[in-house]
């Protein structure tokens, strides 16, 4: 028995904000709290079941794991108890007083901005877990005793900034496990009524792999609400859409509906069952650099880990479970990492998921379009990581293009629109979708009706640079090398861009090379510009402009290559400059044209002060001062 006394502690700042928003906001659906607490209890039971494989003494004389929900309408309390692994004092402080998961601050900020129904969706979507109890409770008490321990602890808080942790006599604590007592607010007293609790459990938690019983009043016998049968072990024909949805919400910690459900049993050399879901909404931490997949691994219905790499990282948004019949129950972390069996499972589940996504794309383009909108930026990571499935992923990919408007198009759509003599799939990459859609680099392609992919996701700069092709057509950046558009017919010959230059333009180009010096690799006439005066392009041999920026930002590029400045021989400014005899003015304009091209490319002028001085001189001369 511990001799430590009670201790008061403040909540971590983000937890305090989160609790404040829950208590002072109005949510249209508060039922989510019970699902979260039952899921926590089920996790605790599964953890004990796993630890008991190597330490059976933890079970003591009680090997049956269960969850009990008890209501006391007169006292307005609701209790959720489990006989799972339980918590020590330090575990209780860590689990209930802080949020360790990265991205918490962004999550809390988004909830703060939400109102009404949107707020309720955010609560469910991101899985606030234990803290959802404060949506219905004015005070929460947690009594826990870790399996095998001779100490028990109580955590208590009213959700207003502090919590207390104090020792509890063993006779007042469960033999092992955790008991959560909610002191319900006046408007939440219906959650102490039997019919309300039965409805929520059957709708949202009937699938958890731990039996759930209910005690309506103190002293009464418990009645069964759920037998703890694992949903994934049942036949697909026996499972309703609503049961799949409820299970998804439990394993995903989200409150949306799955966009795709994949449930199958593999037999033969390796036997396993997989139940996987593609979410209907994007998780808030999708692009977290440390984020891993969330597929739970079971062995013969015993939870092993949720940290096994059962899917490639580009499918890390998928949620679900895999239950193997072949792995040993005492599988170690090292064995998981090196297991050929798990590699085979990973391959099988990945292939099935991509196959089902392909079917969805063929049978329901609108539904697949929403999946791609949410997760396409992540799935494209597979284009340079997963050579084996690259062709399938390319077929799944959808792109905004110069011909798609607000919609997206597949590469198959693009291939059917290839122009005469077109030998490449053209693209422009950048970090601003609006800017690249208005880039001067597109002018010569639009003049010929050539469709160009508009790539604005950060990952795009990498996969297109990996030597990839589609049906024998390479991907070619329109910001790199020469455009080579001469063999593709123009839509309007009167608006033809031209790289042919008269003597005065040739002389101007030579003069601009001298003036700009080593700021550029070359100055040349362009066949890709129709309306703009200038643009910058990368050399044929190096990376394109966007990929070069990423390499430079990551420190993997010692120094950026000098760009090539292309000028439009037909543009009025260029024609006027070619006929201008003032060398000082021509030098200022040459530098201003280079800085203009930089701005159009999303960069800044090379020297802001010099840019301002040149602009001032030219404006002053234009007014004859």
Count how many Cα atoms sit within 13 Å of the Cα of residue 426 in the half-sphere of its side chain: 28
Give the separation between CA 244 and CA 261, rounded to whole angstroms: 8
With H, G, I as helix, E, B as strand and everything else as coil, classify residue 348: helix
Dist CA 101 CA 106 (whole Å): 11
Distance CA 243, CA 263 (A): 13
Q: Calculate Rg over the CA atoms of the chain.
A: 32
CB 429 within 8 A of CB 544: yes
Letter string b/e over residues 257-276, b meaning 16 or more CB atoms within 10 A of that residue's CB: bbbbbbbbebeeebebbbbb
Q: How far is 197 from 65, CA to CA, in rounded Å?
A: 21
CA dist., res. 484 & res. 523, Å (int)? 17
Task: Give residue 379's pLDDT.
Answer: 95
Nearest to 562 by CA among 511, 523, 605: 523
Spacing of C-alpha 73 from chain mean position: 43
Q: E-assigned strands of 300-353? A: 302-305, 319-324
Q: Dihedral of the CA atoms 308, 313, 319, 320 (nearest 10)?
A: -40
Q: What angle do CA 139, 196, 185 make, to 5 degrees?
A: 25
> How would DSSP label each residue in 132-193?
GGGGTEEEEEEEEE-TT-S-EEEEEE-SSSEEEEEEE-GGGS-SSEEEEEEEE-GGGGGGGS
Which tokens is 122 given? 């955010």
Rounded to the nearest 5°, which phi and psi values hold at 137?
-120, 140
490: nearest Cα among 428, 446, 532, 533? 446
Residue among 556, 385, 540 nearest 548 (CA): 556
Residue with tokens 């044209």: 593
- Given CATH 1.20.120.790, say whether it is the number of domain 496-622: yes
Q: Give the whole-angstrom CA distance, residue 423 versus residue 403.
A: 18
Q: What angle do CA 509, 513, 518 make, to 5 degrees?
A: 155
Q: Tell me if residue 32 falls in helix, strand or coil.
A: helix
Report the C-alpha gap between 100 and 103 in whole angstroms. 9
**Domain residue extents for the chain:** 7-226, 232-370, 398-493, 496-622
In sequence order, what DSSP letters do the residues of 509-540 get, joined into one string?
Answer: HHHHHHHHGGG-SEEEE-SS-SS-SEEEEB-S
Q: What is the pTM assigned to this prediction? A: 0.72
- Which two three-digit tokens encode residue 112? 């703060």
Name the one residue in this structure whose structure tokens are 């799949």: 244
Q: Name the token pair of 545.
A: 């402009």
238 Cβ contact list (under 8 Å, min separation 6)? none
Spell out, as residue ranges, where the chain has pLDDT lower than 70: 1-4, 11-29, 98-128, 288-293, 329-335, 337, 493-501, 552-560, 624-625
Do the first three CATH levels of 232-370 and 496-622 match, i.e. the same topology? no
Q: Is residue 540 exposed (0-12), middle (13-18) or buried (19+ Cβ within 10 Å)?
A: exposed
Report the alpha-carbon distance of residue 290 to residue 288 in Å, rounded: 5
| pLDDT for res 305 | 79
Distance CA 464, CA 467 (A): 7
Q: Hey, what are 230's tokens? A: 């694992």
At 589 the three-state DSSP class reads helix
DSSP 471-486: TTEEEEETTBS----T
CATH architecture of 232-370: 2-Layer Sandwich (3.30)
Total residue count of the chain as it appears in this document: 625
Angle CA(306)–CA(210)–CA(262) in degrees, nearest 5? Answer: 50
Tokens, residue 460: 């795009």
**Contact by Cβ (8 Å): 81, 180:** yes
Q: Is the CB of residue 527 less than 8 Å from the CB of residue 568?
A: no
CA angle (112 as vertex; 107, 115 as ends), nearest 5: 120
Round to whole Å and give the CA distance between 40 and 55.
Answer: 22
Answer CATH for 7-226 from 3.40.47.10, 3.20.20.140, 3.30.565.10, 1.10.3370.10: 3.30.565.10
Q: How many helices (H) and strands (E) does the chain have?
A: 21, 23
Task: Give the DSSP letter of residue 294.
Answer: E
Please check whether residue 280 is in contact with residue 312, taking contact to mean a CB–CB distance below 8 angstroms: no
What Å distances lie between residue 72 and 123, 185, 189, CA to CA?
Answer: 27, 13, 10
The strand pair at 67-72 and 212-215 is best described as: parallel
Tell me the backbone φ, ψ of residue 523, rounded to 5 degrees. Answer: -125, 130
Q: Answer whether 374's CB lies under 8 Å from 357's CB.
A: no
Query: Could you give the CA distance from residue 584 to residue 239 in angstroms, rounded to a whole number?
Result: 80
Rounded Cα gap, residues 372 and 272, in angstroms: 28
CA distance 41 to 467: 50
Residue 219 backbone dihedrals phi, psi, to 5 degrees = 90, -15
Considering the domain delimited by 398-493, tell me its CATH architecture: 3-Layer(aba) Sandwich (3.40)
């Amino acid at each position: 028995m511990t001799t430590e006394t009670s201790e008061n502690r403040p909540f971590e700042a983000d937890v305090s904000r989160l609790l404040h928003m829950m208590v002072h906001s109005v949510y249209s659906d508060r039922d989510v709290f019970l699902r979260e607490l039952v899921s926590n209890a089920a996790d605790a039971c599964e953890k004990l079941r796993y630890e008991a494989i190597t330490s059976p003494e933890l079970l003591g004389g009680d090997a049956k794991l269960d969850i009990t929900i008890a209501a006391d309408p007169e006292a307005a309390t609701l209790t959720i108890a489990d006989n799972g692994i339980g918590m020590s004092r330090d575990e209780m402080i860590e689990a209930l007083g802080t949020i360790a998961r990265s991205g918490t601050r962004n999550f809390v900020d988004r909830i703060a901005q939400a109102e009404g129904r949107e707020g309720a969706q955010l609560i469910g979507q991101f899985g606030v877990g234990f803290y959802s109890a404060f949506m219905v409770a004015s005070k929460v008490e947690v009594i826990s005793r870790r399996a095998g321990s001779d100490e028990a602890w109580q955590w208590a808080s009213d959700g207003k900034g502090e919590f207390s942790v104090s020792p509890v006599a063993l006779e007042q604590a469960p033999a092992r496990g955790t008991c959560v007592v909610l002191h319900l607010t006046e408007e939440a007293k219906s959650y102490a009524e039997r019919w309300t609790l039965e409805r929520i459990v059957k709708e949202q938690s009937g699938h958890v792999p731990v039996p759930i019983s209910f005690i309506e009043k103190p002293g009464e016998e418990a009645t069964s609400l759920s037998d703890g049968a694992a949903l994934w072990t049942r036949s697909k024909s026996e499972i309703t859409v609503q049961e799949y949805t409820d299970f998804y919400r439990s394993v995903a910690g989200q409150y949306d509906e799955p966009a795709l459900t994949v449930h199958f049993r593999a037999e033969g050399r390796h036997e396993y069952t997989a139940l996987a879901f593609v979410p209907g909404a994007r998780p808030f931490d999708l692009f977290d650099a440390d984020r891993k997949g969330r597929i739970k691994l079971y062995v013969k219905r015993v939870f092993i880990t949720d940290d096994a790499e059962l899917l490639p990282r580009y499918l890390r948004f998928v949620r679900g479970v895999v239950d193997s019949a072949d792995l040993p129950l005492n599988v170690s972390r090292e064995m998981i990492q090196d297991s050929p069996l798990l590699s085979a499972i990973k391959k099988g589940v990945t292939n099935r998921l991509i196959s089902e996504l392909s079917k969805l794309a063929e049978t329901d383009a609108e539904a697949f379009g929403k999946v791609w909108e949410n997760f396409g930026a992540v799935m494209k990571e597979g284009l340079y990581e997963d050579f084996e499935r690259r062709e399938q992923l390319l077929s799944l990919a959808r792109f905004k293009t110069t011909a798609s408007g607000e919609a997206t198009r597949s590469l198959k759509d693009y291939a059917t629109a290839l122009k005469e003599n077109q030998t490449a799939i053209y693209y422009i990459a950048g970090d601003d979708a609006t800017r690249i859609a208005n880039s001067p680099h597109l002018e010569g392609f639009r003049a010929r009706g050539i469709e160009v992919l508009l790539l604005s996701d950060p990952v795009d700069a990498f996969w297109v640079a990996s030597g990839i092709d589609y049906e024998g057509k390479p991907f070619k950046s329109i910001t790199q090398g020469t455009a080579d558009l001469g063999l593709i017919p123009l839509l309007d010959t009167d608006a033809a861009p031209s790289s042919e230059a008269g003597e005065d333009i040739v002389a101007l180009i030579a003069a601009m090379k001298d003036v700009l010096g080593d700021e550029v690799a070359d100055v040349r006439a362009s066949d890709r510009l129709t309306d703009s005066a200038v643009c910058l392009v990368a050399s044929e041999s190096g990376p394109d402009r966007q990929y070069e920026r990423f390499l430079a930002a990551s420190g993997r590029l010692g120094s950026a290559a000098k760009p090539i400045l292309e000028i439009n021989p037909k543009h009025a400014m260029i024609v006027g400059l070619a006929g201008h005899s003032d060398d000082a003015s021509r030098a200022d304009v040459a530098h201003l044209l280079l800085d203009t091209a930089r701005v159009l490319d999303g960069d800044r002028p090379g020297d802001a002060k010099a840019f301002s001085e040149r602009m001032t001189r030219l404006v002053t001369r234009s007014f004859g001062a």
